[in-house]
Chains A and B, each alone.
Chain A
């Protein structure tokens, strides 16, 4: 990393020295790049000595803080206990998620502060990172010591191109073995090509138009802010012709959303269906709300193709046109960069409407509703709605199916009433592979496992997705492109079945709850080593969770420190910063 500095001086900035006539005033060598607290390089030798079981925190946390965990502790080298504040029916599905991969203790301690963990994570997965040529590709090599079945392809390459057409051309020309998100107009092209195979992906996703009912911007003028008014939001819910959007702009296999969560998920479609399209009623309601002539606002989006939204700016323009035609609302399109957009949405600073969507991480209502509207959700929609939050809490902690159904009926109806957003569609999508790729998948959770795919007679598998991963420490990433890459390198206690959605044991041999569901005991797989050779043990599990959980943990750093998934799935951080 520092080498470029030395080089830069001679190459680029030497001119300054020359021009200023100063001669070699400053030395090019020495001095760390950013912080001077960078610890010495990681020692990769597995530590020997007696195992000291770690518990975090040392005394169980007071559950008043609002989150799910009370204490996470190592019992012995191969047993971990999770003490919960409330029972969680989706616990296994949650810990199987990419963000909760287990990292090596020494690597976390050495590589977090200097951000090395973002680029060269040390996991236990079937592939290990070999080289990340920024902007171009990520090269991974098979992990020779992998505890499971050895990966078929020795080398796995991730590439990316934002353009569906470009991805298809690369596949057709044989440059890559598989591509994500076949363009909506290319499904038949792929099907008719004997050299290719098309794998359609079920629409376990939701595309929605979000409203921010209370922007978290200092000094924001709430007077006359239309989206603070529930009637305005309801009017828009009625005034968008969602069927047209699905028919004209979405790929084959897409459906209009009747509820926020896709119906193939349990308890997703209980409660009343979404508003039917009625422009006249919508206009009348908007007039009732005090905006007979409409109003002006912003429509924020990111120009990134996702499975739930194949043509962002095009659909945005369609929605702008519909808002104008049906409701006389003048919306200005504001395109933001992906990461910025997500950050801004989570921070609740998008004043107006925004286009966003969600793809299932695990197939449970908690992953859809709780992530967006639960107590631990971000400020994306402004202020939260207490009745939704309460119903979701009941739903997430009731083991009995009848109770869950009742709770989610309440939650869905409350969403329908408050309209924090308008669910538009559940979009079908497809991945395409060369015909000779064996066990090709299009995972409903978009976490394809490449270790089990065979790239024909080649020993290298090349995958081309939509975008470059942002970082590979996925505890602090939330975009599918990063998560998919992480899934090849790192593993959690559980994972998901290949091509499906059920949680299956990974680094744990089994996790089981006590009778009231508040204590989960995980027996860990033994003899697993990390890519650097360190041995996997229970303390690694405790630390991997603790750094995410406790805001005051010295290693709670990540890429930008948001750890979005942790708070979303497990309710709250420990020691959360004082509310603003």
Chain B
């Protein structure tokens, strides 16, 4: 197992370097003088000289790359041009919003997706199957931004005066100001990495509300999250449902299932006790891969529902030509994606010994 992990890590290194290089190359591919492309046409010569020294732009490319990697290793992603503060600080504020949204969406997608997939596979070719698979197909076909807008319209306007009304934007009702976890736990004096992590987590209002018992915050945050989470979860949900179905069908054709059936086990225990466990293996991979769709979707969802997460930061940065922020966000998203895939691969190998040996 350790050897597998080591090999898998080794394989990630070139990809990691590639990612960093691509992100590094991004602003250098912009037409014209990089300083003026980054800082705007009015950057004076002095500003540009200082800029070039800071980013080592007067050095040869390989050395520049080395400098960039060095900055990354120190956690320096540069300063936002628009906001005049470190990108890492901006990410620290906004990453929790996206993580919360994405994790809840993934949770919903997994639960509903697997349920639908099992239903569909066990009732093969029945109307339930056809209907479920149609829903799954429709799910991957409806653009997130269309679904998001339609949901906002339905629950924000059409159902406004009914019990089903849901807030179409924002994270919390304005009247609510959540305490951070250190505040709620009376640990205001706390400093250091633990404080950072707690502050980071505090910005995920659902978790914050749960661990600190701020039930009003929890309920309100959840109400605000329903629409974006549903909009965001459709595509991964559809993918997971389809994957569950086809992999369950594969497994049910295998000998040991037939044996189990021959032993006289009913269809339900067969599916639940034997087939599903093996069928879920490829599903694990798909859940990991769904993170790509989730990230892409989060960019659109956050824009529609006015959520200040990483996706909205990215779109704002694009409109603001804030290349340093674009660079930083792209890098962090790619690294996160790489990390998740690594974890997925390793856990897959752990679950299925055949992978390890091949």
A residues neighboring B (CB under 8 Å): 1, 3-13, 15-20, 22, 25-26, 28, 31, 33-34, 115, 118-119, 133-137, 139, 157, 159, 161, 166, 169-170, 172-173, 175-176, 217, 336-340, 343-344, 347, 349, 458, 460, 462, 470-471, 559-560, 562, 577
Please give, as numbers and ranges, the residues of chain B lying within 8 Å of A338 by CB-CB distance.
Answer: 319-320
CA distance A172 to B91 in the complex (A): 33
Residue-wise, chain B 286-318 has the 8 Å CB interface mask toward A (1 for contact) of 000000000000000000001010001100100
CA distance A338 to B177 in the complex (A): 30
* Pairwise interchain contact B88-A4, C-beta atoms closer than 8 A: yes
- Given contacts A5-B88, A343-B42, A16 and B72 within 8 Å (CB-CB): yes
* Pairwise interchain contact A13-B73, C-beta atoms closer than 8 A: yes
Please list 27 pairs of residues, one from A and one from B, whose beta carbons are closer than 8 Å in the complex, sorted by A's number: A3-B92, A4-B88, A4-B91, A4-B196, A5-B76, A5-B88, A7-B197, A7-B200, A9-B74, A10-B193, A11-B200, A13-B72, A13-B73, A16-B335, A25-B73, A26-B73, A33-B85, A133-B308, A134-B308, A136-B308, A166-B168, A166-B306, A175-B173, A337-B320, A337-B321, A460-B175, A559-B84
* Pairwise interchain contact B197-A15, C-beta atoms closer than 8 A: no
- Given contacts A9-B75, A470-B82, A347 and B336 within 8 Å (CB-CB): no
Q: Which chain A residue lies CB-closest to B320? A: A337
CA distance A338 to B16 in the complex (A): 35
The answer to whether B26 has its CB under 8 Å from any CB of chain A is no
Please give, as numbers and ranges, the residues of chain B lying within 8 Å of A169 by CB-CB distance.
Answer: 156-157, 160, 168-169
* Pairwise interchain contact A20-B13, C-beta atoms closer than 8 A: yes
* Pairwise interchain contact B321-A136, C-beta atoms closer than 8 A: no
The 8 Å CB contact of A166, one of B83, B89, B169, is B169
CA distance A28 to B200 in the complex (A): 17
Please give, as numbers and ranges, the residues of chain B lying within 8 Å of A176 by CB-CB distance.
Answer: 174
The answer to whether B338 has its CB under 8 Å from any CB of chain A is yes
* Pairwise interchain contact A33-B174, C-beta atoms closer than 8 A: no
The answer to whether B260 has its CB under 8 Å from any CB of chain A is no
Q: Which chain A residue lies CB-closest to B309? A: A135
Q: Which chain B residue lies CB-closest to A337? A: B319
Chain B nearest CB: distance from A495 CB in Å?
27
* Pairwise interchain contact B196-A3, C-beta atoms closer than 8 A: yes
CA distance A403 to B92 in the complex (A): 59
CA distance A337 to B317 in the complex (A): 9
CA distance A470 to B80 in the complex (A): 13
Residue-wise, chain B 28-42 has the 8 Å CB interface mask toward A (1 for contact) of 000000000000111
CA distance A157 to B174 in the complex (A): 8
Please give, as numbers and ranges, the residues of chain A lying within 8 Å of B197 by CB-CB distance.
Answer: 7
Please give, as numbers and ranges, the residues of chain B lying within 8 Å of A7 by CB-CB distance.
Answer: 92, 193, 196-197, 200
- Given contacts A7-B193, A460-B175, A15 and B338 within 8 Å (CB-CB): yes
Most buried by B among A4, A18, A175, A344: A4
Task: Name the interface residues of B162-203: CB closer than 8 Å to any CB of A.
Answer: 165, 167-171, 173-175, 177, 192-193, 195-197, 199-200
The 8 Å CB contact of A172, one of B73, B77, B160, B332, is B160
Q: Which chain B residue lies CB-closest to A157? A: B174
Please give, as numbers and ranges, the residues of chain A lying within 8 Å of B196 by CB-CB distance.
Answer: 3-4, 6-7
Most buried by B among A5, A136, A172, A344: A136
* Pairwise interchain contact B12-A33, C-beta atoms closer than 8 A: no
CA distance A562 to B47 in the complex (A): 14
The answer to whether B219 has its CB under 8 Å from any CB of chain A is no
CA distance A5 to B90 in the complex (A): 11
CA distance A559 to B80 in the complex (A): 12
* Pairwise interchain contact B91-A8, C-beta atoms closer than 8 A: yes
CA distance A176 to B176 in the complex (A): 12
* Pairwise interchain contact A175-B82, C-beta atoms closer than 8 A: no
CA distance A339 to B316 in the complex (A): 11
Please give, as numbers and ranges, the residues of chain B lying within 8 Å of A470 by CB-CB distance.
Answer: 82
- Given contacts A16-B73, A169-B168, A337-B319, A135 and B94 within 8 Å (CB-CB): yes
Q: Which chain A residue lies CB-closest to B317? A: A337
Please give, as numbers and ranges, the residues of chain A lying within 8 Å of B320 by CB-CB distance.
Answer: 337-340
* Pairwise interchain contact B92-A4, C-beta atoms closer than 8 A: yes
CA distance A34 to B40 in the complex (A): 19
- Given contacts A134-B83, A169-B156, A16 and B16 within 8 Å (CB-CB): yes
Please give, as numbers and ranges, the residues of chain B lying within 8 Å of A25 by CB-CB distance.
Answer: 73
Please give, as numbers and ranges, the residues of chain A lying within 8 Å of B44 by CB-CB distance.
Answer: 577
Please give, as numbers and ranges, the residues of chain A lying within 8 Å of B83 by CB-CB distance.
Answer: 134
Q: Which chain A residue lies CB-closest to B168? A: A169
